[in-house]
Structure 1
Amino acid sequence: MSYPFIEAFEDAKAHARREFPKESCGLIVKGKYIACENIASDPSTHREDDRDCGCQLCSFEISGKVYAKHEANIDVVVHSHPNGPFFPSKADMEGQLLTEKPWAILVLDEERAASKPVIWGGDISPVLGREFMHGVTDCYAIIKDCYALGKDKLAEQGIVGWPHDPITIPEFPRQDAWWEGDDDLYEENFGKAGFVETKDAPQPGDVFLMKIRSSKSNHAGLLIGDSLIVHHLPSRLSRREPAGLWGRQATKWLRYKGAAADA
């Protein structure tokens, strides 16, 4: 197994099974799993097909007193997703940013054992060869992570021509298939992340936006050296590809100018 705290996660999986079909929740503290009570709303308040349903079937909440008792020593915040999905919800992403701790999801159903944990908010995984997962390793994540790693660490991964030292750009919590609703991840937020639209010839470090079967810019990638781009499409591993084809289909090019640039 390639994930940390193997024994702790086995205990978390057993807890998830005991609590099914409700969401379980707990904390890995100094390498040990602590099962917590889910104090979200009673399942009787469940609202079918409501992404914002706050009952124990759809959500979790750990007592503030319990969390505060262990906060300084928390390794991972763990919760289950009964019957899926495997990826974090917008609320999960918001919670992880609020705690500034790694979070993990365990997925299970009535028959199958809990899955290998999906962990995010901790160390950055290698940017090439990733499996696509909404909110964890998707097309925005690879942009954010390349900027966070900077030129020296990217060079160690064989990505050459990157011009920037490490730069932190914001995370933007998002629902899966956000482009099918009212949200517009890239157009609404690129200025907040420090980018401005450029009409100049693209240069390494620039971001391209594209519309793939959508009226909104719902895909993005990065120009690196040697006329290559790095990007991540659903159902494909993250990869380098020649920039020409993708550049011709780009609807907009963005250049980093500093935090909270005026878009």
Structure 2
Amino acid sequence: MRQKLFDSILKHAENEYPNEACGLIVDTGKTQKFIPCKNMSDNPKEHFLISPDEQLEAEKQGEIIMIIHSHPDSPMLVPSEFDRIQCDYSGIEWGIVSYPEGDFCTISPRVNRDYTGRQWLLGYADCWALIMDYYQREFNITLKNYSVPHEWWEDGKENIYDDNWQAEGFIEVDLKDIKIGDIIMMKLNSNVTNHAALYVGDNLILHHSYGQLSSRTPYGKYFRDRTVRIVRNKERFDAK
């Protein structure tokens, strides 16, 4: 990165401190320029959010090739798992600068990640996020995002799975007819259905349990006793 470009980024981080600064690097065809943006997050000291309007304005000047944000008071510049997940979603490189230290690193979107071994991050890397990724990659089916960054099942007043599985295009099937790609919905330490897993064959499920790494696990007595329903997407109803 050219020094002039980096100096512009660091200056914006200084101006926004102690909040996270954010911006975009655009390739105009002749040069690369940094466009500072306003942090629209409700918690700007911990997160950043760039408005769609600012992104559209930036795109008028050229191709957005990097999303920039700062980590205030970060002695060791280590991208968080939240950074990495958001970078994956964005589809382009991210640049992170520490302020006032002035360190800089980049991360790139992770393509075709393994389904197992993913870190847990409620609302972004949880059981439904894993299912969405699996369905998109394996079946080219886009599911609505029902992952939310709070423990919605705690008070028993929300029923995200029970309320939405039919509207999302699923049909209930019997255990004896279970096939690869079917979704098993369960109650784990909750009064409401709060967990979902993918059946991947050979009596194994692929799932992402609370606070754990995603894994393939035998569909044994523990999970069977807590199963509420098994569902199959209508587009896959005749799947072998």
TM-score band, normalised by the shorter chain?
0.5 to 0.7
> 2:42 matched to 1:68?
no
1:26 deviates by 1.4
Equivalenced residue count is 216
Instruction: Return 213-222 or 171-180, whichever deviates more.
Output: 171-180
TM-score, with length taken from structure 1: 0.61
Report the counterpart of residue 179 of structure 1 in structure 2: 153
Please give the TM-score of this superposition, normalised by the length of structure 2.
0.65
Q: Deviations over 1:160-208 (max 9, x none)?
A: xxxxx43222223522323236543322332343212334522221111
SS in 1 for 2:235: coil
2:129 and 2:147 in contact (8 A); partners too: no
Give the secondary structure class of the aligned counterpart of 2:198. Answer: strand
Please say if 1:212 is aligned against 2:209.
no
Q: Deviations over 1:138-181 (max 9, x none)?
A: 1111111111121xxxxxxxxxxxxxx43222223522323236
Partner residue, 2:165: 190
Which amino acid is the alignment partner of residue 234 of structure 2?
Answer: K
CA distance in 2, matches of 1:73, 1:243: 47
Letter in 1 for 2:64: I
Q: Is the aligned partner of 1:251 residue 2:228? A: yes
Residue of structure 2 in register with 1:156 after alignment = none
Preserved CA contact (<8 Å) 1:38 1:56: no
- Point out the more displaced range, 15-24 or 237-246: 15-24
**What SS does structure 1 have at the residue aligned with 2:153?**
helix
- What whole-Å deviation, never above 9, does each CA across 1:55-75 have from its counterpart, x for those lacking one? 755764448356333266224
Q: CA deviation at 1:20?
A: 3.0
**CA 1:227–1:14: 2 relative to 1, 3 Å:** farther
Identical-residue share of aligned pairs (%): 27
Aligned CA RMSD, in angstroms, stands at: 4.4
Secondary structure at 1:34 match in 2: strand
Match status 1:226 vs 2:223: no
- The corresponding residue for 2:216 is 240
Higher strand share: 2
Greater Cα shift, 141-150 or 16-25: 16-25
What secondary structure, in the 3-state scheme, does the structure 1 residue paired with 2:145 have?
coil
Change (3 A) 1:124 1:109: farther
Q: Is the 8 A contact 1:76 1:101 kept in 2?
A: no
CA contact (8 A) 2:182 2:198 kept: yes
| Distance change (3 Å), C-alpha of 1:87 and 1:212 | farther
Q: 2:175 & 2:64 partners in 1: Cα distance?
A: 46
Amino acid at match of 2:53: G
- Alignment match, 2:113: 125
Task: Give SS of 1:147's match.
Answer: helix
1:49-99 CA-partner distances (Å, limit 9, x unpaired): xxxx8475576444835633326622454545769x9648xxx98xx98xx
* Structure-2 change in CA distance of 1:192 and 1:237 (3 Å): same
User: Whose Rg is larger?
Assistant: 2
Matching residue within 14, 20, 23 for 1:23: 20
Structure 2: which 5+ residue stretches go unaligned? 74-79
Structure 2 distance, partners of 1:216, 1:82, is: 40
Q: Is the 8 A contact 1:87 1:134 kept in 2?
A: no
- Which structure 2 residues correspond to residues 41-60 of structure 1 after superposition, within 5 A? 54=42, 56-57=44-45, 60=49
Q: Give the SS at the match of 1:187.
A: helix
Unmatched 5+ stretches in structure 1: 41-52, 151-164
Separation in 2 of the partners of 1:108 and 1:189?
42
